[in-house]
Structure formats: structure tokens, C-alpha cells
Amino acid sequence: MPITLENISKNFENKSVIKDLSYTFPEKGVVAVTGMSGVGKTTLIRIILGLDRADSGKITGNNAKFSVVFQENRLVPTLTAIENILFTTDEPKSKDNIIKATELLKAVGLKGEENTLPKELSGGMARRVAIARALCVDGILVLDEPFKEIDEQNRMKIIPLIKTRSEKDLVILVTHNENDITDLDAMELKL
């Protein structure tokens, strides 16, 4: 069932953040959520994920499995890069998952960093661990400004991974970068 927003509104105190938004997401492909800083992109993501409630309106189809890169990395500080990825899988000790996590680390340019702790990673490296972790599990992929702190060379490694994912699952991508929209053939949801 597609995710559908019907007349969604959200206020914080007296401030209107989302106003009467209606949108039907496709079942797969990339939807780029764009708009100026503070416009309500993260708030919309939180409403879709069920972490926040709209004040009015209706949302359907979001009773689904999601895999998320939040605006912050949210890595577990006491776990290594590979342990952080395996932590959110159904079976962290399964050989298949360990192979998959190792391959994903390599794909995001972090080969050899399996046993590195988050505090020993640069901002961009930690961000890539968060992306690899989200890619390691199934579901609708939600990415809130995933490429912040990531250089162009690494962004180009990650784009095809997201593109492949979007061939079977919906990807919701919050971005400020026009190139993300073209590279991923994304539809745009402008806030």
C-alpha cells in the first residue's frame, strides 16, 4: 500500500510548520523532499515514521518497515563500525549478515575500518557507516540529508547503491543538492 498524506498540518506552539500537505508516494523510486532550512522536512519525516503526530489530516500506508539515516548519525559509541551495522539487522551473528555488512562498508569506501569505533572516525566516515547500516536492512529507505559532510567522490560511490535500492523499494531523500535529484531520477516533493 502506498504512503498517502491527506491534508497534513503540523504546528509547534503557534508556528505553522506543515500546512495542508497532501501527497501520495510511489511504491518505489526516489522522492526528494526539498525546501529551505527550517521548512519542516525533518518534521515530515518524523510524522511518516510515526515518531511525531500531525495535528490534523490523515496518513495511511506508513505501517511499513523503514530503514533510516537520521539527520544525526546515531551510532552506538561503544560498538565498532561493523557492529553498528550488524546491530540493527535481525541476526547480528549470522554469517550472511556479516558478509553483507563487510561488503557495504567496502562499497561506501570504508574497507579496513570494520573494527574502528565511532570516535575514531571523521564526520564523513561516521556518516558513511550510518548509510551502510541503513542499506543493510530491508524496507522503505529514509535518508535525512545523508550526504552532509560527505565529499563528492564518496557521494558518487553511494548514489548507485541508493539507485539500486530504489528499483525495489521507495527511497525518501531529504536533500538540498540538485545533483542528487538528477543522479537518482528523483521526483521532487517541495516543501
Ligand X SMILES: Nc1ncnc2c1ncn2[C@@H]1O[C@H](COP(=O)(O)OP(=O)(O)O)[C@@H](O)[C@H]1O
Query: Is residue 59 at the binding interface for ligand X, with CB under 6 A as the rule?
Result: no
Q: Which is nearer to Mg ion, 34 or 84 (CB)?
A: 34
Amino acid in the structure at residue 103:
E
Q: Residue 57 has which C-alpha cell?
A: 489530516
Query: Is residue 11 at the binding interface for ligand X, with CB under 6 A as the rule?
Result: no
* HEC profile of 46-97: HHHHCCCCCCEEEEECCCCCEEEECCCCCCCCCCCHHHHHHHCCCCCCCHHH
Give how many residues touch ligand X by CB under 6 A: 10
Residue of 42, 102, 116, 177 that binds Mg ion (CB under 5 A): 42
Query: Whose CA is closest to 99, among 109, 116, 114, 88?
Result: 114
Q: Which is nearer to ligand X, 12 or 56 (CB)?
A: 12
Tell me, residue by residue from 12 to 41, as one string, x for binding to ligand X by CB under 6 A and - for no binding: x----x-----------------x-xxxxx
CB 101 within 8 A of CB 85: yes
Q: Which residues bind ligand X (CB under 6 A)?
A: 12, 17, 35, 37-43
